[in-house]
Amino acid sequence: MNRIRVAIDGPAGAGKSTVAKMVAKRLGLLYIDTGAMYRAVTWKAIASGIPFSDEEQMVELASTIDISFDSDDDRQIVRVDGADVTQQIRSPEVTEHVSTVSAIPGVRSQLVKLQQKMAGRLGVVMDGRDIGTCVLPDAEVKIFLTASLEERARRRLEELLSKGVRTDLEEVMASLARRDEMDSTRDLAPLRKAEDAYSIDTTGLSVPEVVDRIVSICRQRLGTNQ
């Protein structure tokens, strides 16, 4: 089981990271949140005053940035050049611009290279938008998680309110719809289900139900009941 690669893709707010983290824990695999990597590049560009339209500088940033993951109990810590930026990369400002940054071809190719290196020959659960189609096209298990826009917005709203961000359902729905549109219509590696991915609609399902479903797909795929 510890060599299996599990790719989890889907739109923003489908519950990918919560579920992916728990699947990784259940199966003893490393968890890699690729959305956090695009967010880290976006955060650093803002912090360094690099305009997103300056492709050369953006690609230079993506090829030199030092992104690492660490875990503290159940919390995943994201570091950029050694500093903990876990909270900063979830700010509304970063969220607003991350789709623009992730559409820059040179940024994507640098991060995809880094993601493939991180996955190496170890077992991983990796979540994002293009994991099953581009980053790990030969992953043993591919999952495409979806949920209705309203349900995704409700979940995201709860998460934001609990972090003290002031917003409402309409605003969150509009922001998710905008990101869905940008992520699925960009030229390079748009969000789409890999042909051999299992689709799971999480609308109305609890997190443990989704996790159980994915864990059992992994076990079936490997022919094990451990």
Residues found near ligand DC in the complex (CB under 6 A) = 12, 34-35, 38-39, 98-99, 102, 128-131, 179, 183
Q: Is 15 left (phi over 0), alpha (psi -120 to 50) or beta?
A: left
Burial status of residue 90 (CB atoms within 10 A of its CB: 0-12, 13-18, 19 or more): middle
> Can you tell me which residue has the tokens 């917003």?
167
Of 57 and 100, nearer to ligand DC (C-beta) is 100
Q: How far is the CB of 134 from ligand DC (least distance, A)?
A: 8
Of 159 and 201, nearer to ligand DC (C-beta) is 159
Q: How far is the CB of 99 from ligand DC (least distance, A)?
A: 4
Q: How far is the CB of 34 from ligand DC (least distance, A)?
A: 4
* Alpha-carbon gap, residue 177 to 2, rounded angstroms: 36
Of 35 and 106, nearer to ligand DC (C-beta) is 35
Burial status of residue 12 (CB atoms within 10 A of its CB: 0-12, 13-18, 19 or more): buried
* Alpha-carbon gap, residue 8 to 136, rounded angstroms: 10
CA distances from 39 to 35, 96, 114 (A): 6, 10, 14
Q: Residue 20, Cβ neighbours under 10 Å: how many?
A: 27
Q: How far is the CB of 108 from ligand DC (least distance, A)?
A: 7
Host H or E run for residue 221: helix 207-222
Of 76 and 219, nearer to ligand DC (C-beta) is 76
Of 151 and 183, nearer to ligand DC (C-beta) is 183
Of 91 and 222, nearer to ligand DC (C-beta) is 91
Q: How far is the CB of 160 from ligand DC (least distance, A)?
A: 12
Q: How far is the CB of 85 from ligand DC (least distance, A)?
A: 13
SS3 125: strand
